[in-house]
Structure 1
Amino acid sequence: MLNIADTLHTWCGEARPFALATVVQVSGSAPLPVGTALAVDLDGNVVGSVSGGCVEGAVYELCRQVLKGDEPPTRARFGYSDNDAFAVGLTCGGELDILVQRIDPTGQPHLTTACDAVTSGRPVAMAQIIDGPDELLGRTLSVTSDGSTEDGAVGDDWEGSVAAQAGALLRAGRTGLVEVGGDANTCPERLSVLVHTHASRPRMLIFGAVDFAGALSEIGRFLGYQVTVCDARPVFATPDRFPHADEVVANWPHRYLAATDVDARTAVCVLTHDAKFDVPLLRLALSMPVGYVGAMGSRRTHTHRLELLRETGVPEEHLARLHSPIGLDLGAHTPEETAISIAAEIVAHTHRGSGTPLSWSTGPIHRRRAAA
C-alpha cells in the first residue's frame, strides 16, 4: 500500500474514507508484486494499480461495493480464463489474490503516521493481517525505524512477534509475508501478515570522477539510489560535474568507504581502473556486506587486478563476488550506453536475473523473492 502513500496521506489528512485493494499473493507471471495497492474514495477517485490494467475494472467495482456499507474485508482471486477471452482475468497467465477492505482514517491514525513517514522520506513498515480470524482480517500495525509501534486495535497477542519481524524486513528494505501465532506462547490463532516496507533509499557508491560516473549517477538516481561520487582528486570531484549525484566527495576511495554506512542493498561501482585506487578499495569492498561490487577495465586490467588483490591476501571467495569487467554485454560504447550496461547488471544481480533476452527463455517472466 505504501506505493500510493502520497495520495493516502492526503485522504487520511482529510479524514476521507476509502477502499483499499492490496495484492496479497501472486503466482505465475502476474505483472505486479505482493504489496502493490489500489485505492478508491467515496467520490470514485482511484489511485494505484494491482495488475497493470488487466483486472483494474473488476477490482474498482469490488472496492465500490465494499465502500458503500460497513462490509467486512474480503479476498478475491483473479486469473486467466481459457473459456472466455473477454472474461475478467490476467492475460499474462498469472493469478492474483486481492484483499479489499474499507479504511476509515479517523479510526486508524497509525496509517496517517505511516503515510506521513513515507512522504517525509523516513523508514517505516506497515504490517497487515491478510489471513486469519475474520475479526482480525485487514488489521494493521506500523513499525518505525526505532522499533516503536502504533496499531489499529489489533491486541497484544501478536504485536511483539510481528513488530520484530517487520523491523527485520524494514532493515533489509524488503516487503514480505510472515507467519505468526499458532501456539499458546504467542497468539493461539495462526496469522499470515503482509509487511509493507518503506526503507531509506539504497546507496550507489561510484568511485572515479569520470564521464562514465556522470552517466551512471543519473541512471542510479532514476532507479531510486542515493548516489555518491567519490574521487581522490578534488579538481574532478565537484558537484557541478555531477549534478545528479546526491553527494560528491573528494577523498581517497578506500578511506571514504571505510568511514561510510553500507548495507546489503549497497552497490559499489569502481570506475577508476587505476591500481593505486582500485586495489585498496576493492580489498575493503569485497570484505563488506554490500550487495554488489563491480570494477571497470579491460580483461587485461581485470587479470592484473586479480593478481594484485591475491598478493594482498584477498581470499578467492571474496574475489568471486567481483563483477569485472563491470556491466552486461550490450555492445556499449558511449558513457550513457555503458551506464545502462552497468545498471542492467546491478538489477539482474539484485533480482537474480540471468541477463539474457527473455525471448531465449521459457517459464514465468517475473521472479518472486522468497518470503523472509
Structure 2
Amino acid sequence: MANTLNHLLQAYRQLQRDGEDSVLATIIETFGSTYQKAGARMLMTKRGDLIGLLGGGCFERDLLEQAASVFDTGHAKTVFYDMRAEEDVIWGLGLGCNGAVRVLLQLLTAEQDFSPLDRLVEAAQAQAHGVLVTVVDSTHADFPTGHSQFLPVSMIAEQPSLSRAPFPFASAALHTALQQTPRIETHLLNGQEIKAFYDPVQPPWCLLIFGAGADAIPLVNCAKSLGWRVTLVDYRPAYIKPERFPLADQLLHLTPEHVPVELELDRFKAIMMMTHNVEYDQRYLQAIVHCRVPFIGLLGPAHRKQRLLQSLGDDATLISGRVFGPVGLDIGAKSPEEIALSIVAGIHAQLNGRSGLQLGNDIVATAHECSH
C-alpha cells in the first residue's frame, strides 16, 4: 500500500481509539487529468482536520462542507467536481488539469468495525491481495450505499460464481484483480440496481536489506516513509539493535547459510546487498539465487557487480536481469540520506515499470498524474 494509505490507516486507528467519528472521502471515478486517480482516499473529522489529499487543495474546503451533511445524517453520498471549464469560475483552481472527479463520502463511526478502512487494515495485517468492493449507489436493502466488502484473490479465484461467493459481484472483482485497475460496474440483483466501485488492493511492498551498517539507517527510514515493510539481516549481532533501527519491522541475526531456511524470500519485492564486505555480499547473494524477487540491488561500481556475479558461476543466470548495480537513480546523491532516496526511487521506478526520468522539463510540469 502507498504511503498515504498507510498513514491514513494509522490515523483511522487513532481516531477509533479516541472515540472520534470521521468521514471517508474516496475518489471513485475520474475524467481527464486529475491530481489523484480512482482509489485515492482522505479522512475528514468534525474539527475540520484532513488526513490525505484528493485535489491538491482544490476542492477540499468544499468536501469539508459536504462532509457536514454526512456527519448529520449518517448517509453516504457522492459529489462531483468538474474542473474542465477553461474559465474555472466555480472552483478557481487554476491548475490546468482540466479533469473531473467523483467522490464517495462515507461516515465512519468509532463504534463500527466494518468500514472500508477496517477491511483495508485487515488486508494489510494479513498481507492479502484482493479487491475492496464498495457500493456507491443502490436500491437493494441488503447492499446499501456505503456497504463494503474485501474479497481476497484466493477466495474469488476459487469461487467465481456469483451465486456461491459471499458478495454478489465476485466475477467483476476477479476481473479487477487481474487487471489491477479500479472500476465502477452496475449490476442487477433480484431486480434491484447496485452500482459498485472495485478497488484492487496490494499489500505493502517488502524490502530485505543485508547489512546493518550506518548507511542502512536512512535507507530503512526512507523505505518506511513510503509504507514499505523492512526486514534487516546482518551476520554481526552487535549491529542488529532495535535502538539503531526503531522503524524496521524485523531485525534478524542470520548468517548467509541460514537465510533460505529462516526467510520466505519470495514475499519480498526488493533485496539490497550492503554489508560492505565482498565475501559476505557474495555469500548472501548465493543464498538468494533461487528466489523470484524482481529487484536485487548492489552497492559499489559496476566492476564490483561483475565480480560478485562471476563468483556465482552458472548460478548467476538465475538472477540475470534482476540485479542492479550501481543501484539507484542518478540524482547527484552524496549524503547517506540522498543515497537512500536514490536507491528507494530506483526500486520504486523499476517495480512500477517506469523510467525514473523527469515527467517534463517545463516549469509548469508537476510530479503527479495531472501530467499524463
Comparing 202-211 with 2-11, which one deviates more in the overlay?
A: 2-11
SS at match of 1:344: helix
Partner residue, 1:177: 182
The AA in structure 2 aligned to 1:329 is D
SS at match of 1:110: coil
Q: Distance in 2 between matches of 1:106 and 1:299?
A: 54
The AA in structure 1 aligned to 2:167 is E
Partner residue, 1:139: 147
Question: Contact 1:351–1:367 (CA<8 Å) still a contact in 2?
Answer: no
Partner residue, 2:82: 78
Distance 1:246 1:237, change over 3 A: same
Show CA shifts across 1:165-221 (max 9, x none). 58x96xx9x98525778699x99968543337484x432211123332233223223
Distance 1:6 1:176, change over 3 A: farther
Q: 1:314 aligned to 2:319?
A: no
Partner residue, 1:151: none
Partner residue, 1:193: 197
1:56 is matched with which residue: 40, 60, 77? 60
Question: Contact 2:233–2:252 (CA<8 Å) still a contact in 1?
Answer: yes
The AA in structure 2 aligned to 1:177 is P
Show CA shifts across 1:13-33 (max 9, x none). 898776543111235542234
Partner residue, 1:296: 299
Distance 1:72 1:111, change over 3 A: closer
The AA in structure 2 aligned to 1:321 is R
Q: Distance in 1 between matches of 2:249 and 2:18?
A: 34
Question: Contact 2:20–2:109 (CA<8 Å) still a contact in 1?
Answer: yes
SS at match of 1:307: helix
Unaligned 5+ runs, structure 1: 149-154
Q: What root-mean-square deviation, in Å, do the aligned CA atoms of Structure 1 and Structure 2 show?
A: 4.7
Question: Contact 1:38–1:46 (CA<8 Å) still a contact in 2?
Answer: no
Q: 1:110 aligned to 2:111?
A: no
Q: 1:93 aligned to 2:97?
A: yes
Partner residue, 2:167: 159
Percent identical: 20
Q: Distance in 1 between matches of 2:272 and 2:254?
A: 16
Report the alpha carbon displacement of residue 93 of structure 1 after superposing the two structures with TM: 0.4
Partner residue, 2:332: 331
Distance 1:10 1:228, change over 3 A: closer
Matches within 5 A, 1:1-372: 4-5=8-9, 8=12, 19-40=23-44, 43=46, 45-48=48-51, 49-65=53-69, 68-69=72-73, 73-84=77-88, 87-89=91-93, 91-93=95-97, 95-103=99-107, 105=109, 109-111=113-115, 114=118, 117=121, 127-129=132-134, 133-135=138-140, 136-142=144-150, 159=167, 161-162=169-170, 165=173, 177=182, 191-195=195-199, 197=201, 199=203, 201-253=204-256, 255-263=258-266, 266-272=269-275, 274-309=277-312, 311-315=313-317, 318-360=319-361, 365-366=367-368
**Structure with larger RCO (C-alpha < 8 A, sep 6+):** 2
SS at match of 2:26: strand
Question: Contact 1:208–1:271 (CA<8 Å) still a contact in 2?
Answer: yes
The AA in structure 2 aligned to 1:194 is Y
Q: Distance in 2 between matches of 1:283 and 1:245?
A: 24
SS at match of 1:314: helix
SS at match of 2:315: coil
The AA in structure 1 aligned to 2:368 is H
Q: Distance in 1 between matches of 2:355 and 2:68?
A: 41
SS at match of 2:237: coil
Show CA shifts across 1:58-116 (max 9, x none). 32333334555576633414324311366355715053422334537499652299179
SS at match of 2:342: helix
Unaligned 5+ runs, structure 2: 157-162
Distance 1:19 1:175, change over 3 A: farther
Report the alpha carbon displacement of residue 355 of structure 1 after superposing the two structures with TM: 1.9
Question: Contact 1:180–1:193 (CA<8 Å) still a contact in 2?
Answer: yes
Comparing 106-115 with 248-257, which one deviates more in the overlay?
A: 106-115
Report the alpha carbon displacement of residue 270 of structure 1 after superposing the two structures with TM: 0.5
Question: Contact 1:291–1:350 (CA<8 Å) still a contact in 2?
Answer: yes
Distance 1:105 1:272, change over 3 A: closer
SS at match of 1:315: helix
Report the alpha carbon displacement of residue 345 of structure 1 after superposing the two structures with TM: 0.9
SS at match of 1:114: helix
Question: Contact 2:30–2:102 (CA<8 Å) still a contact in 1?
Answer: no
Q: Aligned residues, how many?
A: 355
Question: Contact 2:21–2:107 (CA<8 Å) still a contact in 1?
Answer: yes
Report the alpha carbon displacement of residue 7 of structure 1 after superposing the two structures with TM: 5.6
TM-score, normalization by structure 2: 0.72
SS at match of 2:252: strand
